[in-house]
Amino acid sequence: MNPVKIGIAGLGTVGCGTVDVLIRNADEIARRAGRGIQVSRALVKNISKDRSCDLNGVELTTNPEDLLNDPEIEIIVELMGGDSGIALELVQGAIACGKHVVTANKALIAVNGNQLFAAAQKKGTMIAFESAVAGGIPIIKVIREGFSGNVIRRLAGIINGTGNFIMSEMRTKQRSFQDVLVEAQDLGYAEADPAFDVQGTDAAHKLTILASIAFGIPLQFSHVYTEGIDKIESEDVEHAKTLGFRIKHLGIAAQVTDGIELRVHPCLVPENRLLANVEGVMNAVLVDGDAVGPTLHYGAGAGAGPTASAVVADLVDVVRTLTTDPENRVPHLAFQANSLSDIPILPIDEVSSAYYLRLNAINRPGVLADVTRILGDLNISIEAIQQKGDGSPDEFLPIVILTQVTLEKNMNCALERLAQLETVNSDIVRIRLENLNWS
C-alpha cells in the first residue's frame, strides 16, 4: 500500500523531532499503522535556514496553500503554535478540504477547539492533539479512552515543563530565575513567548483540555483561574521546606457539589508526595477515577523527542482509522458532542483550599492574638504557626501560618483585614496548599 502523505507546518524543535522519529522508526511505525507515513511537504517561515533534520524528499514552502491544495496530502501536522493567525487558518483550511489534523498546539485547541471540533465533525475529519498536553505522556488517551469506564472525580498535574524546570533549579541549585529561563529557551522547552510558561497561561491551556475530556464539558479557557510562578520568592521556598513542603506549579480540576474547579497556581505540596518529587522538565498528572482510584502519569513534558513521540502516535491513530466510519471514531472530547454537560465552572471565590500565609508583623505582645482573632472570626482554622527571628522587641519578623481548608472568599476577607492592622506589613504572601491525600 502507498504511504500516507503528510504536510508538516513548522520545522522548529518539535517539527524536526517529528521528522527524525518518522525516519528513524519508519519500519516500526508502518507495521503499527498498517501503512508508511511520509512527509511530502513542510511549511516554514524561512526556506534557507539550516535545519538539523533530514529533509530529503520534503518540499519546503512558505505558502500554506501549497499544503492545503496538495490532493495527495491526507494529514496536516500543525506545529507552529498560537491561537490565531496562520495556525488557525491552516487548521480551518485543512478541515474545509477534508484533511485530518494532528496538532501540538494547546492554545489553538483550548481557545478555538469547540468550533474546530464542530467543523471537523461535520466534515468527518479528525483532529488529534495528544502532544498538546504533557509532551510525551499519553494523558489524553489515558483519560479519553483508558478511563472511559470511570467518573473522573479530580486531577492535578505539573503540566508546564519550563516552570517546573525553573522551580527545581532555583530550589536545588540556588540559580536565578532569569538564568534558568534562558537555559529552558535554549533547550527548546519554553514557549515562543516564555511569559506563557511563567505566568501560567500554557498550563491553563492544557488544563482546559484535560478538564474537558475528564468531565465532558466544553473547552472553557477563559474560566480557568490562573496564577504563575513569577511571584514566588526564595524565602517562601525555604519556609515551605522547613515545614515539610515543596512549592509546585499545579493545574487542578475537580468535580465538586456545585460545579467544577479549574485552577492553575503555585501550591505547597507535602514533600513525600510523588508529585512533589517531579523535578526538572518532567510533567506528571494525577488522575482520580471512581473505579480506578488515584493514578499517576509521569514523563517528559517538553522537548523534541517526547513531543514528537506524541505527534507520531497521533499520526498512527489517524492512519489506522482513515477508513473508519466517522460516527464510530473516538469523539474529539471523549464524550459524544451532543452529550456535553453545562455544569458551571466555579469562580475562585467559591473554591476551598488550605493556605500558607507569610506576613511580617511587629514583635510586640498581642500582635499574634490580633492575627489569630481575624482568622478565627472568619472561621479559618490554623494548622500551624511559626514566628522566626531573634526576638528583638518592635522589629518586624516573619510569621508563617498554615491554615486548614477554607473558602477562598473567607481568606480574601481575612487578608484584607490583616493588611489593615498597623502592626502588620500589608504585603502578605498567600500560597494555596494541597495535601493531595487522595487514596
Cell of 187: 533547550
Distance CA 257, CA 423 (A): 39
Which residues contact residue 83 at a Cβ distance below 8 angstroms, ignoring those fewer than 6 apart?
Answer: 105, 107, 108, 110, 111, 112
User: Is residue 216 a contact point for ligand HSE (CB under 6 A)?
Assistant: no
Q: How far is the CB of 8 from ligand HSE (least distance, A)?
A: 17
Write the burial class of residue 155 (CB in 10 Å: 0-12 exposed, 13-18 middle, 19+ buried). buried
Residue from the set 197, 236, 261, 317 that interacts with ligand HSE by CB under 6 A: 197
Residue from the set 78, 191, 261, 408 that interacts with ligand HSE by CB under 6 A: 191
Q: In the range 140-159, which residues lie near ligand HSE by CB under 6 A?
A: none
User: Is residue 78 a contact point for ligand HSE (CB under 6 A)?
Assistant: no
Cell of 231: 511571584
Give the nearer residue to ligand HSE in terms of CB position, either 283 or 403. Answer: 283
User: Is residue 209 a contact point for ligand HSE (CB under 6 A)?
Assistant: no
Give the nearer residue to ligand HSE in terms of CB position, either 58 or 311. Answer: 311
Q: How far is the CB of 369 from ligand HSE (least distance, A)?
A: 45
Give the nearer residue to ligand HSE in terms of CB position, either 216 or 303. Answer: 303
Q: In the range 291-350, which residues lie near ligand HSE by CB under 6 A?
A: 301-302
Sign for the CA dihedral angle at 48, 51, 57, 61 comes to negative
User: Is residue 169 a contact point for ligand HSE (CB under 6 A)?
Assistant: no
From the candidates 99, 106, 141, 206, give the one annotated as an active-site residue.
206
3-state secondary structure of 282: strand
Distance CA 39, CA 6 (A): 5
User: Is residue 161 a contact point for ligand HSE (CB under 6 A)?
Assistant: yes
Asked about 206 being catalytic, the answer comes back as yes
Residue from the set 162, 226, 363, 423 that interacts with ligand HSE by CB under 6 A: 162
Q: Which residue is nearest to ligand HSE (CB)?
A: 162
Q: How far is the CB of 170 from ligand HSE (least distance, A)?
A: 15
Q: Is the distance from CB of 155 to CB of 215 less than 8 angstroms?
A: no
Residue from the set 13, 114, 121, 160 that interacts with ligand HSE by CB under 6 A: 160
Q: Is the distance from CB of 436 to CB of 157 less than 8 angstroms?
A: no
Q: How far is CA 67 from CA 64, 132, 263, 355, in A?
A: 6, 22, 38, 51
HSE-up (13 A, CA, CB side) for residue 381: 7
Contact region with ligand HSE (CB under 6 A), list: 139-147, 184-192, 389-397, 407-415 = 184-192
DSSP labels, 13-52 = HHHHHHHHHHHHTHHHHHHHHSS-EEEEEEE-S-TTS--S
Q: How far is the CB of 350 from ligand HSE (least distance, A)?
A: 29
Give the nearer residue to ligand HSE in terms of CB position, either 18 or 162. Answer: 162
Distance CA 189, CA 173 (A): 19
Q: In the range 109-138, which residues lie near ligand HSE by CB under 6 A?
A: 135
Contact region with ligand HSE (CB under 6 A), list: 27-35, 39-47, 186-194, 211-219 = 186-194
Which residues contact residue 108 at a Cβ distance below 8 angstroms, ignoring those fewer than 6 apart?
Answer: 78, 81, 82, 83, 87, 88, 91, 116
- Note the residues at the interface with ligand HSE (CB under 6 A): 135, 160-162, 189-191, 197, 202, 301-302
Catalytically annotated residues: 206
